[in-house]
Structure 1
Amino acid sequence: MEMVLTPIVCIAQGYIQGKPVDDLRVRKAILELPDNKTEHLPGYLPLVPGMPVLLTENVATELGLSKGTRGIFHQLVYDKPPEGDRYHDKNFPSNTKFITQPKYALVEFSGCKLDGKLAKLQSKIVPIAVSKQIFLFYAKELLPDNVAKAAKINKKTTKLTVKRKALPLIPAYSMTTRKSQGQTLGKIIVDLVMLPGPLEVTSPYVSLSRVKRLEDLLIIRPFDFATLQIKPSMAQIEVFKRLDRIAQNTRRRFQFIV
């Protein structure tokens, strides 16, 4: 017997001047913005029990729940939407269940520093509540050319201030090198074929050093060995020299202090 899971997608709620965004074109454009333009709150958040997720903001740093912490999603708690508030998107399967009013997600964090378990929850499972962020949306692309031109001539802004409510989580099946910084992972698959353009000296180092054992690392395809021979740029070298001077001055200044 085949068991079929119903896909779940959380839809972020957007507000402009305190009112929900009801214009379909504007709403769609705002939801499709990349996370780096929405204070890292995703417009669409697909969820499946058992999937890995990442926190996108600091929740409780003293408990080890900070931005970039990896967890396992278990369950979503949400309110039923009002009648008439239905959402559909052809980019998702027809049986997708869209959640427009999530309350919190139950996520398991193996490294959580909670002394005990929360009431009625298993150990290491923490409720992650909906977060709020404010960002700017440039609506110029949605305006007809003549309207956009008139707005520019009259010096009227086409920037909209958007308040978003969403869960501070993103799927973690894969991540960029930047997102992986500071994490120790069990097993990883790394792609060392870099995109065109200048390379950072830390790019290969960060990705290759996320595991403790060589057998937990798999490089997915052949790569140019020069990737591992990147040298620091002049700007980076100057930063290193400046930090070294600061360290030397600090040692000289405080060498007699016990």
Structure 2
Amino acid sequence: GIFRQLVYEEDSVSTGIISETFPSNTLYIRKPLYAIIEIVRSKVECNFEQLGSNLVPIPLMEQTFRINIADILPKDKKPKSNQKTILSIKRRALTLVPAYSITTHKSRGQTLNNVVIDLQLPNRTDDIAAIYVPLSRVKRLTDLIILRHFDYKTLLMKPSKS
């Protein structure tokens, strides 16, 4: 399918107070409710009232994991015999898998229609190409999406002498 839209929950908190702190063009990210996917050659009849033909909503899925952390705690942090060491972790996610993804190295020299980039670099890398190359693969800024918050200093990196 083709990703068409991410539908968010309504604002439960007024952004009026927050907007005095941040610039007027700040976008506030809310919790997604579902994604709308277009399945062009769908054999399934989906007649949702507010969706066009071939559009299917993919809901946010929630799963809870219970993990016993007793074995990974340091000896000085081990709980008393009557204390629990089980953590309950709740994960929410859209069950989407990208149809196509490439590494920064593979994308060199290509012009791409749409790019989603993660600028949170692993292990404090100082490789300027890890930033510049994916940012420069699109013709228009509107075709670029930055996946999550990142340290602004990442964009100020200077190339290494090597």
Q: What TM-score does the superposition give when structure 2 sets the normalisation length?
A: 0.41
Of structures 1 and 2, the one scoring higher in RCO (CA 8 A, sep 6+) is 1
Q: What TM-score does the superposition give when structure 1 sets the normalisation length?
A: 0.28
> Would you tell me which structure has more helix in proportion to its own residues?
1
Larger radius of gyration: 1
